[in-house]
Amino acid sequence: MATNSQTRIAGLRSSLASGFAMFRNPKSIVGLSILGFFVLLAIFAPVVSRFDPLAIDQQARLQPPNATHWLGTTHMGQDIFAQIAFGTRGVLIVGFAAGIIATLIAVIIGVTAGYVGGIKSESLSALSNVFLVIPGLPLMIIITSMFHNPSLMLVSSVLAITGWAWGARVLRAQTMSLRNRDFIQAARANGEPLWRIITVEMLPNLMAVIASSFVGTVTAAILGLTTLAFVGIIPVTNLNWGTILFWAQQNGAFPDFWWWYVPAGLAIALIGMALSLINFGIDEYVNPRLRSAGERARALRKRGMKAGTSVTEVRAVPGAAVPQPSPDDVTAVASRTTSKELRR
């Protein structure tokens, strides 16, 4: 019994290590660092910001960045850095909540459709296709406009409903390729229950695809939230980066008062870049060609060579004798060259 438990613990540790191996490449590390900065900014917003994001100060209207207001103020004297810091909370909450909900739906429908086969698989696939062709932004605008003050969870649910289908399609295809593998067939032959085959045998091999789907959904949810806020669908009380851009556009901040809209735009671009880098790192881990190309490029850079070098350089060691070809070798090479020319 002790041996079996130790074996299971060792297998779980190896599975976790292989699951987090996708985040060990430089792209994922940079993306996680930027994302971690925004997470810390959202958590410690009351500490790093010295002002209430909605406090009005008529004496500090439309001030450029200075020692008191690091990113300037709005037309009502509100501190823009405080709005950016506190708005990060709503952006991350909606993004990760929508990503979790959409990923759960995608895993349930995609893995089930890929494993069961038959009419059930085709029905679930048709459902995914229907949600793929539904225009996401108009549907989000219609649903959220039906509520006077939609909560963040409602917005997250709407974004998740419109964003799970693509991940389900990818997971269905990957599950269909896994269900005929030898270890899955062996689990079936041993009489393993369906839930254990899916959770223990299949899901660890789908972790990279699930992680990529989650990151992509979070990116789409953040862009969807800022878009809804910018067009005025989400109430201004739900402070986020899109709300800042909405008020900047409504009060004619473009282009003179650049400090009102540039920080929010840069924050959206930075978190989008961070999530894209994480996704690129996951793709490099999943795709063997990308992984081998990345390893080769890093090895060449360590040797002081360009990543696009196709010919390996041969460097002479100081003091070492350079071997010279013998006359017989020269004759053999010339003979082979002549034979090739005659065949042509």
The residues with which 79 forms a beta bridge, in sequence order, are 73
Looking at residue 333, its pLDDT comes to 47
CA atoms within 13 A on the CB side of 196: 8
Residues constituting the chain:
344
Nearest to 284 by CA among 11, 39, 31: 31
The H or E element that residue 183 is part of is helix 182-189
Peptide bond into 64 cis (omega under 30): no
Angle between the 207-230 and 152-161 helix axes, to the nearest 10 degrees?
Answer: 120
**CA angle, corner 82, sides to 97 and 60, nearest 5?**
150
Residue 151's pLDDT is 83
Residue pLDDT tens, the chain, 344 long: 455 556 656 655 665 555 566 677 888 899 999 999 999 999 999 999 889 998 888 888 999 999 999 999 998 999 999 999 999 999 999 999 999 999 999 999 999 999 887 898 899 999 998 888 888 778 888 887 787 778 888 889 989 998 899 999 999 999 998 888 888 888 888 888 888 888 888 888 888 889 989 999 999 999 999 998 998 888 777 789 999 999 999 988 888 899 999 999 999 999 999 999 998 888 877 766 656 666 666 667 677 776 555 544 445 445 545 455 555 554 554 455 545 444 54
- Quote the CA–CA distance of 159 and 39 in Å, as a whole number: 21
CA angle 159, 200, 166 (to 5 degrees): 25
Is residue 124 helix, strand or coil? Answer: helix
pLDDT of 7 reads 61
Using CA atoms, how far residue 323 sits from 250, 316, 318, in Å, is: 77, 11, 14
Return d(Cα 151, Cα 154) in angstroms, integer. 5
* pLDDT at residue 268 in the model: 95
Nearest to 103 by CA among 251, 243, 25, 214: 214
**pLDDT confidence of residue 38:** 96
The CA-based angle 213-216-220, given to 5 degrees, is 135
pLDDT given for residue 41 in this prediction: 95
- Name the burial class of residue 338, with classes exposed (0-12), middle (13-18) and buried (19+) by CB atoms within 10 angstroms of its CB: exposed
Q: Rounded to two decimals, what is the model's pTM?
A: 0.78
Which CATH code for domain 23-286? 1.10.3720.10
3-state helix, strand, coil in the chain (%, to 5): 75, 0, 25
Query: Contact 225/36 with Cβ under 8 angstroms?
Result: no
| Model pLDDT, residue 334 | 46
User: Quick check: 72 and 64 in contact, CB under 8 A?
Assistant: yes
Alpha carbon distance 175, 128 (integer Å): 15
Look up residue 128 and give its DSSP letter.
H
What integer pLDDT is reported at residue 338 of this predicted model? 47
